[in-house]
Structure 1
Amino acid sequence: MATFGVLTGGGDCPGLNAVIRAVVRRGLADNHSFIGFHGGWRGLREDDCQPLDLANTAGLVTRGGTILGTSRTDPLASGAGGLDELRETIARRGIQAVVVTGGDGTLGAARDLCREGIPLVGIPKTIDNDVSGTDFSVGFQTAVQIATDAIDRLHTTAESHNRVMIVEVMGRHAGWIATAAGLASGADMILVPERPFAVDDVCEQLRARHRKSRNFSIVVVAEGARATDPDWQPLTESDQHLAGDSLAGATTSHPRSAATASGVGFKLCEQIEARTGFDTKVTVLGHVQRGGTPVAFDRILATRFGVAAAEAMLSGRYGCMTALRDERIVEVDLAEALAQPKALDPTLYETAAVFFG
């Protein structure tokens, strides 16, 4: 019987608990034991952990978040000192290998640590869906559903008041959430990091809708989207206190408060109202996209990834990441999986664009 470690790193997302449950249940079937490390890499460095067994992992498939907690700790921030701490914990606990669930930052650290001889297996999770090597990452489908539900609700208030409603969703470098949720909810315009936009073009499209007597519009914008306008400037850190009401991670504000709020949504809202005169409001979904119960797709994907990662680890196949490709679970080398960020599929965006205007 061997002992294995489990940790979750980076931002939280729905499905992490389902991963933990699956890894442990698969290993327990072969009489192995498990230790869960708190707060991602921090827990492994500081030997902050707990046993994982049948009792404390039962029922986790339906729970959001992660019972182990998470953080964005860089395990190699202290250079060789950090690596030594990891090795000491692994040796002290008699751990044979560790399953690491995270996004590009966490998995990038796992790749580097594997090169230093630390036995690891990775599982991709990120609501941004920007990890290459896999069709989908754990958490993405739930985030899309949450955003879609919110946009559906904003649709009715936009139509009732003849407003332009801007919905800012997560996606610093990739527009997967914005495009998928915008397509599912019938958005009139979607702005993503992969396609810089001109504010005048956005305003003209809105005017064109109004000329067709479509007196409301839904604009979905990824947080990383940027304008090509030479005077477009991101707001400073001192400006980043959100105005307006807040509920469950969503922030809503009138554009007159844009100067005291952060983000592309507020900036765009201010510009649209100033250039068109249309009543314009913005809703930033924020961390509400990370929370709550995972949808069925993420529960199943997380379970399949967890079982596959456990089997790779039990067989001594380290340095790999589980991945979904053409509906099959496969193992890919971590270096290959992280070779480049996964940008938005242009064909998905073009499909959504058919319905703009």
Structure 2
Amino acid sequence: MNSGIRTIGVLTSGGDCAGLNAVIRAVTYSAIQTYGWKVYGIMDGSMGLIQRPLQFRELTMGTFGGNYLREGGTFLGTTNKGDPFNFPMPDGTIKDRSEEFAEGCRMLGLDALVVIGGDGSMRILSRLCERAGIGMVGVPKTIDNDVHGTDYAVGFATSINVVTEALDRLQPTAASHHRVMILEVMGRDAGHIAINSGIAGGADVILVPEVPYSLDGVARKIRTVLAQGRSHALVVVAEGVKTESGEPFMISYSGGQQRYGGIGNYLTEKIAQMTGAETRVTILGHVQRGGIPSTRDRLLASAFGVKAVDLVAQKQFGTMVGWQGRSVVAVPLEKVCIGPRSLDPCGTMVGTARGLGIYVGEEICPIEDPAATI
């Protein structure tokens, strides 16, 4: 196929996760072996094309000796701050650096860019590529699994494996000391990590941002578990869950950044007061982002990387690869960059949790009459 494409770039943007290196490897292998293109890895997201001198490295078959497929994180580096259209400068001013990005693309002779990121990264990078006059194809990655247009994003499978293993480790110590163990997990405003790992890890209570809850409901479930003869209980709470009164828990970092964190400590105090149970909290944090990519993430990353290169060859720009059903498909970015994809409060996962007797908050979905379907 003579697509006119000769040189492409690949970068990772936003938070890191397991499987990013596997995507970069797949993009490189497919681009070189299938199409004979030159591939540049852009360092530290969009910053690699904005900084002078440019920060990049040519990727070849020899770049990948076997380890990158198995390594977490991203060897190209990444960033989740500094929008090039509104870039904060050291003197406190804001500068539009999009033309520097465009110039960087021209200096490298890029014909297209493969962007591995979440919906926010893809939204910004698509505008930057338009400014530069090059095509872009996106690859979804986020442990939160909140990208529209795909059933799964790279990094999600590994993260829920980590959380499930944490629950496996917390259960014996909870049983030994007759405690209620609370595990606070990531996910921002989506409860995908909490519901999936909570079910797999045998949690008694799972709290997610999409479903309202009551402290009475949480306490009632824990009392029921203890009354049934079990000496302990497990609670999983997503970091984006608010208090009963609707207040979020945020942590301030240097530079003015704020992130979710602290709802687990709040629940620990409340549950102890209401049930009399000895209660402890574990905030898993960035452990969920690291580690060896799972088999599922390696397969997904490989399929996404190959499909992204094929879309570049076909000049199907302005798209993202996505996993739908059992296939990798092309999804228009206008259907992707519409904000985070929330957990369906009336969907299969919440329904499964309720069917297992897990407290997932108050019932807000209409209950079907079984007789009506006969």
Match of 2:206 in 1: 190
Q: Which moved more, 1:338-347 or 1:52-61?
A: 338-347
- Quote the residue 1:160 is aligned against: 176
CA shift at 1:135, angstroms? Answer: 0.6
Shift of 1:111: 3.3
2:256 aligned partner: none
2:63 corresponds to 1:56:
yes
- Aligned AA for 2:122? L
1:266 paired residue number: 265
Residue in 2 that maps onto 1:244? none
Q: 2: distance between equivalents of 1:328 and 1:80? A: 42
Report SS of the residue matched to 1:76.
helix
Aligned-residue CA RMSD (Å): 1.9
CA displacement at 1:268 relative to structure 2 = 0.8
TM-score (norm 1): 0.89
8 Å CA contact retained: 1:21, 1:58: no
**Correspondences of 1:273-352 after superposition (within 5 Å):** 273-345=272-344, 346-352=347-353
In the alignment, structure 2 segments of 5+ residues that lack a partner are 88-93, 254-259, 360-374
Contact preservation (8 Å) 1:148, 1:181? yes
Gaps of 5+ in 1: 239-260
Aligned to 1:93: 108
Q: Aligned pair count? A: 334
* C-alpha distance in 1 between matches for 2:106 and 2:97: 14
2:230 alignment partner, SS class: coil
In 1: Cα distance, 2:69 partner to 2:327 partner: 20
Deviation at 1:193, TM superposition (A): 0.7
* CA offsets 1:266-304 (integer angstroms, 9 cap, x no match): 111111112222100001111001001100010000000
Tell me, in whole angstroms, the C-alpha distance in 1 between the residues paired with 2:178 and 2:162. 24
**Deviation readout 1:82-120 (Å, 9 max, x if unpaired):** 220111001111111110000122112133335544421
Match of 1:251 in 2: none
Which residue is equivalent to 1:137? 153
Q: How far has the Cα of 1:235 moved from its partner?
A: 5.9
1:28 aligns with 2:32: yes
In the TM superposition, residue 349 of structure 1 has moved relative to its aligned partner by 1.2
- Using structure 2 for the length normalisation, give the TM-score: 0.85
Contact 1:197 1:227 in 2 (8 A): no
Match of residue 75 from structure 2: 67
Alignment deviations for residues 118-148 of structure 1 (CA, whole Å, 9 cap, x no partner): 4211000000000000010000000010100
**Which residue does 1:83 correspond to in 2?**
98
The corresponding residue for 2:14 is 10
Q: 1:233 to 1:302 in 2, by over 3 A?
A: closer
1:180 and 1:160, CA in 2 relative to 1: closer, same or farther beyond 3 A? same
Cα displacement (A) at 1:262: 4.8
Q: Is the 8 A contact 1:99 1:123 kept in 2?
A: yes
* Preserved contact between residue 17 and residue 142 of structure 2 (Cα < 8 Å): yes
The SS at the match of 2:183 is: strand
| CA deviation profile, 1:36-86 (whole Å, cap 9, x unmatched) | 111111112222111111111332221111110111132322488322011
- Aligned mates of 2:48, 2:105 — CA distance in 1: 11
Using the TM superposition, name which of 44-53 and 20-29 deviates more: 44-53
Note if contact 2:102-2:128 (Cα within 8 Å) is conserved in structure 1. no
Distance in 1, Cα, partners of 2:308 & 2:166: 34
Partner of residue 256, structure 1: none
Instruction: Say which SS state the counterpart of residue 95 (structure 1) adopts.
Output: coil
Structure 2 residue corresponding to 1:42, chosen from 37, 43, 47: 47
